[in-house]
């Protein structure tokens, strides 16, 4: 997180770099407290603070927080069925979180995961709708590829706007979110609507277009795909020259430029990669959960994936842990809702508080070293 600690600039190439460097501290000063301690400690402390504030919200609602949290824990991990649900929820969080990890390491603020998710679902879903007669061995890879391409293209649009015209990717990716959702909403009640159907949704995908379950369980291929990207992202960022280049661009543009790195290409790659993973997530979710195209295929992963990446310290292993924690909160909150009537959106509030606490802890640790 140290690279993110003092990153004020929304748009690179703005000429602010020199003065920014003056502000940032020398590396040896920065690491007086063992960074590993801050790295691991801050998320744990953040989780505790988040759960305490969640307890406060439960008390305000006039309920017993211990009881509510017990029902959450049971709902998330209480049996093999619950653990399956938690895993299925963690997979999309992990996949989007890994994409954002690469983007944020490059200091590309892709906030458009939601739109990229929809475009991946749309393109992949269209393959499923147009070629239902294909055998699964051809259909599924084609769908996965289309999902990747859909998300990647939507992200690439924002990357081009940034590189060519200096449009802040924060704003463009966000606006593209709304546009993508509306596009899918229109298509699934218009041209792609189920023939003869009344609901604003496409026909259901054929059996061959659904990712198969593993070993006869509900845990599907998507979970494996997500796990596959964990070592891949690690290798990408810390073993390959490409990863070194991305992190160099993310830490200090000026240094990267002097060293002959192409900043624009790095921005484009990071954006496209994170978009591809968001698109893939969208395809996996429509293929397994929704099994058709409609306006309401969101799982909110475009935003919660950002928090997962941050809580996971922009490290693949951390992102795995953070995705399971977030998934447990989501699934647990659902069962808490059923049992006690407390709104399940409590999970979202807790998650945001957790990340805010981590931000504060990090900043405090930095501040302590600065003075």
> Does 10 interact with another protein (rule: CB under 8 A)?
yes
- Per CB under 8 A, which region of 11-19, 218-226, 241-249, 253-261 contacts another protein? 11-19
Q: From residue 127 to residue 166, what is the string marking binding to another protein with x (rule CB under 8 A)? A: ----------------------------------x---xx
Contact with another protein (CB under 8 A): which of 26, 61, 236, 293? Answer: 61
**Least distance to another protein, CB of residue 125, Å:** 17
**Least distance to another protein, CB of residue 179, Å:** 5
Q: Which is nearer to another protein, 201 or 362 (CB)?
A: 362
> Does 349 interact with another protein (rule: CB under 8 A)?
yes
- Per CB under 8 A, which region of 68-76, 79-87, 269-277, 349-357 contacts another protein? 349-357
Contact with another protein (CB under 8 A): which of 144, 246, 307, 327? Answer: 307
Q: Which is nearer to another protein, 136 or 194 (CB)?
A: 194
- Per CB under 8 A, which region of 140-148, 206-214, 225-233, 338-346 contacts another protein? 338-346
Closest to 99 in 3D by CA, of 261, 236, 255, 256: 236
Q: Which is nearer to another protein, 167 or 289 (CB)?
A: 167
Residues contacting 266, CB < 8 A, separation 6+: 106, 245, 246, 249, 250, 256
Phi then psi dihedrals of residue 343, to 5 deg: -60, 135
> Does 252 interact with another protein (rule: CB under 8 A)?
no
**Least distance to another protein, CB of residue 185, Å:** 5
Residue for token digits 């593993």? 214
* Inter-axis angle of helices 65-77 and 316-340, nearest 10: 120
**Least distance to another protein, CB of residue 295, Å:** 9
> Does 5 interact with another protein (rule: CB under 8 A)?
yes
> Does 338 interact with another protein (rule: CB under 8 A)?
no
> Does 340 interact with another protein (rule: CB under 8 A)?
no
> Does 4 interact with another protein (rule: CB under 8 A)?
yes
Size of the site for another protein (CB under 8 A): 63
Q: Which residues bind another protein (CB under 8 A)?
A: 4-11, 14, 16, 19-20, 22-23, 57, 61, 109, 111, 161, 165-168, 170-172, 174-179, 182-183, 185-186, 190, 303-304, 306-307, 310, 342-343, 345-353, 355-356, 359-360, 362-364, 366-367, 370
């Amino acid at each position: 997180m140290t690279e993110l600690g003092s990153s004020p600039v929304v748009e690179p190439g703005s000429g602010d770099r020199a003065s920014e460097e003056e502000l940032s501290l020398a590396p040896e000063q920065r690491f007086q407290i063992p960074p590993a301690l801050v790295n691991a400690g801050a998320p744990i402390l953040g989780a505790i603070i988040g759960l305490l504030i969640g307890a406060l919200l439960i008390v305000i609602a006039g309920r017993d927080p211990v009881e509510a949290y017990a029902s959450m824990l049971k709902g998330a991990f209480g049996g093999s069925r619950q653990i399956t649900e938690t895993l299925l929820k963690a997979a999309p969080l992990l996949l989007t979180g890994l994409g954002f990890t690469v983007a944020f390491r490059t200091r590309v603020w892709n906030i458009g995961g939601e739109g990229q998710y929809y475009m991946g679902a749309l393109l992949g879903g269209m393959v499923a709708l147009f070629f239902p007669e294909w055998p699964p061995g051809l259909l599924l890879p084609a769908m996965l590829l289309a999902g990747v391409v859909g998300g990647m293209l939507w992200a690439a649009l924002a990357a081009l706007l940034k590189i060519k015209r200096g449009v802040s990717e924060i704003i463009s990716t966000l606006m593209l979110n709304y546009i993508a959702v509306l596009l899918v909403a229109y298509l699934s009640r218009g041209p792609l609507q189920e023939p003869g159907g009344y609901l604003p949704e496409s026909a259901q995908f054929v059996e061959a277009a659904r990712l198969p379950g593993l070993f006869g369980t509900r845990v599907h291929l998507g979970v494996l795909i997500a796990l596959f990207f964990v070592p891949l992202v690690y290798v990408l960022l810390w073993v390959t020259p490409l990863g070194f280049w991305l992190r160099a661009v993310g830490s200090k543009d000026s240094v990267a430029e002097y060293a002959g790195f192409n900043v624009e290409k790095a921005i484009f790659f990071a954006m496209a990669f994170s978009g591809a993973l968001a698109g893939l997530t969208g395809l996996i979710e429509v293929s397994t959960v929704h099994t058709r195209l409609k306006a309401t295929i969101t799982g909110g992963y475009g935003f919660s994936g950002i928090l997962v990446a941050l809580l996971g310290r922009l490290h693949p292993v951390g992102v795995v842990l953070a995705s399971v924690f977030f998934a447990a909160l989501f699934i647990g909150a659902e069962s808490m809702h059923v049992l006690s009537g407390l709104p399940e959106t409590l999970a979202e509030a807790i998650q945001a508080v957790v990340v805010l606490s981590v931000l504060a802890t990090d900043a405090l640790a930095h501040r302590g070293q600065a003075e």
